[in-house]
Amino acid sequence: MFQKILIANRGEIACRIAKTARRLGVKVAAVYSEADRNALHVQLADEAVFIGPAATSQSYLVIDKIIDAAKQTGAQAIHPGYGFLSENADFARRCQQEGLVFIGPSAETIETMGSKSAAKTLMEQSGVPIVPGYQDTDQATGRLEQEAKRIGYPVLLKASAGGGGKGMRLVENGADFTAALDSAKREALASFGDDRMLIEKFVPRARHVEVQVFGDQSGNIVHLFERDCSIQRRHQKVIEEAPAPNLPAAVRTHLYDAGVKAAQAVDYVGAGTVEFLYDGKDDVYFMEMNTRLQVEHPVTEQITGIDLVEWQLRIAAGEPLPRSQERISIQGHAMEARIYAEDPRNDFLPSTGTLSTLILPHHSTRIDSGVAKNDTVSPHYDPMIAKMTVHGATRDAAVSALAQALDETRIAGVETNTHLLSSIVAIPAFQRGEVSTRFIDDHEAELFNKPDDGFGPYLAAVLWLKAIRNPQGESSPWNELQGWRMNGPAEETHWLTIDNQPVLFKLITDGNGYVANIDRTATAAKRRAGTNLDAPLEIRFSGQCTANQGSLTLNGQTKKFDAAPHKNGLRLWYDGIPFDIAIANPLSPSAQGASAEGSLVAPMPGAIVSLLVTEGKDVAAGETLLVMEAMKMEHAIKAPQKGKVLAFRFQPGDQVKEGDLLVDFKEGS
């Protein structure tokens, strides 16, 4: 076994690899960028090497810096984790030239599998089923069009160099072919610098099933069963499980056989994943092979009891596969959910900020995370906060455990997909194992509808404000804003923002409860409460609250809630459902009305991609003014209302900070 390895990664996967290495008595050297000085993966390592600025192109992706770090620390091997340099054939080759062990397959294997068309051709020759299609070198438009017709519409265009759905287009009929081809090629060229295309018959409502394989240096190959990763959003997996539900026994056997055959065809060494499309009936088709450890490997670890990183290290060190196929078996069912810092209601835009609250379940749940409370989610890296993996005797048990784990999660300071994940797990079709790649689209209404929040969360927020501003009755600067009368019922005032309007809550103690008197002019509040807009709004309620939890009784119903500071307001989990409530500062001018400027600032740090209108131009509400790129995604900045673009403050290529004003804009026309 190695004495020391270098982990060329960060975040949860770097932490996960470090834990296994240390358990095996292998010393761990980490690398870290400027943004990661205090990161968990650095704390878990025996030593760490600084490799430069936060931007990955200047740190984690620089081959020379990683090789230097390995030499400097005397590491014998490099574990690339996933992402970054993990599927970079040049890097694997360079390790070899420098006398370092790359923990993964050969550079040739990485190269072959890196080209979708080369991989498909090889798989076809090796007897692995592939989706009927065209993956040859002749890329003339006429030829591609002719092949699409032969295959039969609908077809899917895929970038040969691609992945993650980039450069992918569904073409329903011949009339749309050339336009779709042009746009797919353009996207592929921009993303991969390579616009070669392959064409496939479209498999409707496909499922994504993948086989975990392992090979050793003597040519032995085994599989560790399959995972189902069909629940995805924008080609990003969000829930994975093992084994795949509702998979007929014959399909399962066929799948393992195809996975092992694929690995054999490239003399596979180490951990690999062979991805297949399953048509939901009798057929599976090879899609691609990932020549690395996958994010979702914990579900396989849970059902097999095997530490996949340990196997990777042993195999890279020259040991044989630790177990033969007969000695690898499935125990129960495992499910993983990925918690991301992103906003599902805003097109899954990544959300940066400080994890001011981070409470993850600790009973019967495996947590893989690379962050701690008060760490920041930066725009430079993948916004995954944590993976939670549960294991049950049956799939039903795993579903319940995952539901509970998600319900116990409390994160504030950034937006997260936690509630979306809870909603997915609550859908009966999911509970029956009826998953497909269209699952999130098919259940959009149930998954994204804003819950009917009524007035409860706002009154809970008032109780919370009361608790944090005056915990033991001592005075605080906030109390100075509050009315005070010598003889009369105690009256407090609290401001909250409802539908972008500041709303005044006057709170009068009345017996064991309170009467909230809500500002007559607060039309948004009244609309929410469903009252006559002219009537004074008085609500009787009772409840109690500490700094982080409370209960509220309204209309005879009592609801519990948890609360935490969130950005400039608070996040409430009212009856288990998260609500974000902004606290209005009655003294600030922006509280006088919704700020039109708000949407013309950079929502996160990034770079300006393009300016879409000329300065001085009149624009309609919602018209896209410019495009910026942040966290590897393009984001359109739109006119908040009808108006005129006076000036752009930045040019394409400029870097902008979160909150930077991007456009001088005049409302009206």
CB nearer ligand MV4, residue 159 or residue 563: 159
Straight-line distance from the first to the last Cα atom of the chain, in angstroms, rounded to the nearest whole number? 72
Region of 6-14, 71-79, 196-204, 511-519 interacting with ligand MV4 (CB under 6 A): 196-204
Site for ligand MV4 in 619-658 (CB under 6 A): none
Phi, psi values for residue 439, rounded to 5°:
-55, -50
d(CA 577, CA 575): 6
Q: Which of 16, 94, 292, 571 does the annotation list as catalytic? A: 292
Phi, psi values for residue 380, rounded to 5°:
-80, -25
Question: Is the C-alpha dihedral spanning 530, 532, 537, 540 positive or negative?
Answer: negative
Please identify which residue in 200, 241, 415, 519 interacts with ligand MV4, judged by CB under 6 A: 200
Distances (CA, A) of 98 to 171, 276, 428: 47, 35, 54
Nearest to 434 by CA among 246, 565, 590, 295: 246
* DSSP string covering 608-640: EEEE-S-TT-EE-TT-EEEEEEETTEEEEEE-S
Tell me 320's DSSP state.
P
CB nearer ligand MV4, residue 5 or residue 239: 239
CB nearer ligand MV4, residue 17 or residue 287: 287
The least distance separating ligand MV4 from the CB of residue 228, rounded to whole angstroms, comes to: 10
Distances (CA, A) of 392 to 208, 333, 335, 383, 395: 22, 5, 9, 28, 7
Q: Evaluate whether 113 touches 126 at the Cβ level (below 8 Å).
A: no
Tell me 583's DSSP state.
P
Active site residue 23: no
The least distance separating ligand MV4 from the CB of residue 426, rounded to whole angstroms, comes to: 21
Please identify which residue in 103, 206, 260, 334 interacts with ligand MV4, judged by CB under 6 A: 206
CB nearer ligand MV4, residue 167 or residue 603: 167
Q: How far is CA 195 from the centre of its chain?
A: 27
CB nearer ligand MV4, residue 77 or residue 156: 156
CB nearer ligand MV4, residue 200 or residue 301: 200
Contact between 203 and ligand MV4 (CB under 6 A)?
A: yes
Site for ligand MV4 in 418-477 (CB under 6 A): 437
Please identify which residue in 86, 112, 212, 232 interacts with ligand MV4, judged by CB under 6 A: 232
Contact between 156 and ligand MV4 (CB under 6 A)?
A: yes
CB nearer ligand MV4, residue 94 or residue 158: 158
CB nearer ligand MV4, residue 65 or residue 158: 158
The least distance separating ligand MV4 from the CB of residue 262, rounded to whole angstroms, comes to: 16
The least distance separating ligand MV4 from the CB of residue 439, rounded to whole angstroms, comes to: 9
Region of 74-82, 227-235, 263-271, 420-428 interacting with ligand MV4 (CB under 6 A): 227-235
The least distance separating ligand MV4 from the CB of residue 275, rounded to whole angstroms, comes to: 8
Tell me 378's DSSP state.
-
Site for ligand MV4 in 285-314 (CB under 6 A): 287
CB nearer ligand MV4, residue 434 or residue 580: 434
d(CA 561, CA 395): 30
Q: In this structure, what token pair is assigned to residue 623?
A: 């018209």
Distances (CA, A) of 632 to 350, 532, 553: 9, 47, 45
Distances (CA, A) of 33 to 63, 605, 607: 14, 17, 20
Phi, psi values for residue 336, rounded to 5°:
-125, 140
Contact between 169 and ligand MV4 (CB under 6 A)?
A: no
Please identify which residue in 54, 68, 93, 165 interacts with ligand MV4, judged by CB under 6 A: 165
Q: In this structure, what token pair is assigned to residue 147?
A: 């092949």
d(CA 306, CA 214): 12
The least distance separating ligand MV4 from the CB of residue 152, rounded to whole angstroms, comes to: 12
Please identify which residue in 143, 149, 186, 235 interacts with ligand MV4, judged by CB under 6 A: 235
The least distance separating ligand MV4 from the CB of residue 405, rounded to whole angstroms, comes to: 23
Phi, psi values for residue 220, rounded to 5°:
-80, 140
Q: Evaluate whether 6 touches 75 at the Cβ level (below 8 Å).
A: yes
The least distance separating ligand MV4 from the CB of residue 285, rounded to whole angstroms, comes to: 7
Region of 19-27, 181-189, 230-238, 455-463 interacting with ligand MV4 (CB under 6 A): 230-238
Site for ligand MV4 in 253-282 (CB under 6 A): 277
The residue with its CB nearest to ligand MV4 is: 437
Contact between 117 and ligand MV4 (CB under 6 A)?
A: no
Residue in the block written with tokens 């006119």: 639
The least distance separating ligand MV4 from the CB of residue 184, rounded to whole angstroms, comes to: 13
Please identify which residue in 2, 60, 202, 455 interacts with ligand MV4, judged by CB under 6 A: 202
Region of 201-209, 297-305, 323-331, 406-414 interacting with ligand MV4 (CB under 6 A): 201-209
Q: How many residues bind ligand MV4 (CB under 6 A)?
A: 16
Q: In this structure, what token pair is assigned to residue 317?
A: 């060190």
SS3 of 481, please? helix
Residue in the block written with tokens 């010393």: 27
Query: How many other CB atoms sit within 10 Å of the CB of residue 224?
Result: 26
Name the strands in the sheet holding 221-233, side by side, starting at the edge strand that comes first in the sequence: 284-290, 270-278, 207-215, 221-233, 236-242, 333-340, 384-392, 366-369
The least distance separating ligand MV4 from the CB of residue 161, rounded to whole angstroms, comes to: 13
CB nearer ligand MV4, residue 285 or residue 458: 285
Region of 203-211, 251-259, 536-544, 622-630 interacting with ligand MV4 (CB under 6 A): 203-211
Query: How many other CB atoms sit within 10 Å of the CB of residue 233?
Result: 19
Sequence-distant (6+) residues with CB within 8 A of 130 are: 120, 123, 124, 285, 286
Which residues are annotated as catalytic? 292
Task: Give the binding site for ligand MV4 (CB under 6 A).
Answer: 131, 156, 164-165, 200-203, 206, 208, 230, 232, 235, 277, 287, 437
